[in-house]
Amino acid sequence: MEIINGKKYKKCSDNKIRNLKTNRCVLITGKIGSEIIKKNSGKIPSITGKTRDEILKKNDKKNPPTTEYKLNIKYPLDHSFNKVKVEEYLNACDIEVRGILRKIIDNTMHVSFEKFIINLNKNIKDLVNIVSDNRPIFILVEKDYQYKSNYWVYDYLQNYLKFNYPRIKIILLNNLKLDNTLIQDNDYIIKIDDCIYSGSQMSKDVMFIDNINNLKLNFFILCSYISKKGQKRIIDTFNYNKTLKRCNLIFNIFITKIPSMFSYITYSESVLLYKYINYYINEYDDDDEDEKKYISDKYLIYFDHKLADVVSTLTPIYSGYVLNKRNLKIQEKPKKQNIKEQKYNIINSIINFFNFKKEDNNNKEKDKPLLYIPFIKNCEKIINNDYYEPECPFTPYKLDFKDMIKKFKLTGKTKHLSFENNKYKKKLFHSL
């Protein structure tokens, strides 16, 4: 029983929450329940029946935080849009695509490092609330991910837990075969990512997880930014994996749905964009001549710590590649020729050689450099030539992070994080 304003009420079940306006229990998944959860994000009932705030207070009394703890994590630079450069970029593009590009840029989600950390902290606390006090958590991060963003998030997670919740022990799993003898029924296996776009990489990992001992496990996806399509793909793959039939799949509670390109532009606009950047987006075979080609769905999001590759987002556009006919002509793919055309071109080239004919205007045009106007802050001097591994925004989890900053002589202050009483603060250093 619960006593509210002197009256006794029956305690709400685990899947319900108290509506204090009516004092009735409502479903957490319902409209009213969802609104209450948003207003009181720290007070959602946990599986133990206690609220998350009660659990956190209890845990903090057991393990009071020390005054300060410096995190061993590199802090990225500010990579928000430079609004002046955005206008310069749009004006350099052809008129027919300016409106499309403006819609894309205006609806792009830029996630600052501060916002990323705040949301990550919420989800770490969500994880802390549901794991057992007397069992370790198992974090699944493969070795070849060491210099990727999800390993960087893992570094942050282990430091955060070590400082705030030292009672929680971490065991790192380096492969998808769950053969660690310490794993028991009802343990938590954590899969980490900074952002899930199409969900192909995460679902591939889930597909190849081998629960060889057929244990009843809880798989917790720790990721604050997920697309609707990506989440569905992961759920479907999890259900397809026969070794996980006895297991549960749990997503952290605070998820920001990342914006899809097709939420803002039409199919015909995607066809037009493809004409300008088809050289970089190889989504079709060379034989697909008759097919009307367009850009498949991309996600309009980037972070201070990362711009995703061209598979997931519109990397050429965010890199400042100008969509105009000049660049289009330089990057134009040669058309397939029939036998007659090939013979004609061979004969023509021989005649030109003996006549010492000067290069035509088309060849001269192709020798010109491509036009770029980068509009992301602290990337104005950098040309991303590789859209599968863009250099800028600078990725702090890569080995060459400091070298890249020095190479381009960026004057922005680099930052390191430290914690004090469960809240992070920034320490600024003028040099690396």
What tens digit of pLDDT does each residue of 40-96 get?
543 333 333 444 445 444 544 444 444 344 555 667 889 999 999 999 999 999 999
The overall pTM is greater than 0.85: no
Only one residue has tokens 């479907």, namely 236
The two tokens of residue 264 are 């803002």
The average confidence (pLDDT) of the chain is 77
Q: State residue 416's pLDDT score.
A: 43
How far CA 27 is from CA of 2, 32, 45, 55, 330, in Å, comes to: 18, 8, 11, 21, 59
Write down the H helix ranges in 77-210: 83-92, 95-106, 113-130, 149-164, 200-207
The rounded radius of gyration (Å) of the Cα atoms in the chain is 27
SS3 344: helix
Cα–Cα nearest to 121, from 425, 428, 423, 396: 423
Note if the bond before 393 is cis, omega within 30 degrees. Answer: yes
Could you report the per-residue pLDDT of 257-272, keeping only the tens digit for each? 999 999 999 999 999 9
Q: State residue 119's pLDDT score.
A: 94
In angstroms, rounded to a whole number, what is the distance separating the alpha carbons of residues 152 and 190? 15
Rounded mean pLDDT of 308-333?
90
One DSSP character per residue, 12-68 reads: PPTTEEEETTTTEEEETTSHHHHHHHHHTTT--B-TTSSBHHHHHHHHHHHSPPPS-
Residue 107: exposure state from Cβ atoms within 10 A (0-12, 13-18, ≥19): middle
- Has residue 169 got a pLDDT over 70? yes
How far CA 30 is from CA of 35, 36, 201, in Å, comes to: 9, 10, 32
- Has residue 141 got a pLDDT over 50? yes
Q: How far is CA 146 from the centre of its chain?
A: 17
In angstroms, rounded to a whole number, what is the distance separating the alpha carbons of residues 160 and 222? 14
Confidence of residue 118 (pLDDT cuts 50, 70, 90): very high
Write down the H helix ranges in 208-338: 228-240, 267-277, 315-318, 325-330
- Has residue 30 got a pLDDT over 80? no
Could you report the per-residue pLDDT of 322-359, keeping only the tens digit for each? 999 999 888 775 554 455 555 555 666 666 555 554 44
Could you report the per-residue pLDDT of 375-412, keeping only the tens digit for each? 999 999 888 888 888 988 887 766 554 444 444 445 44
Find the length of the chain.
432
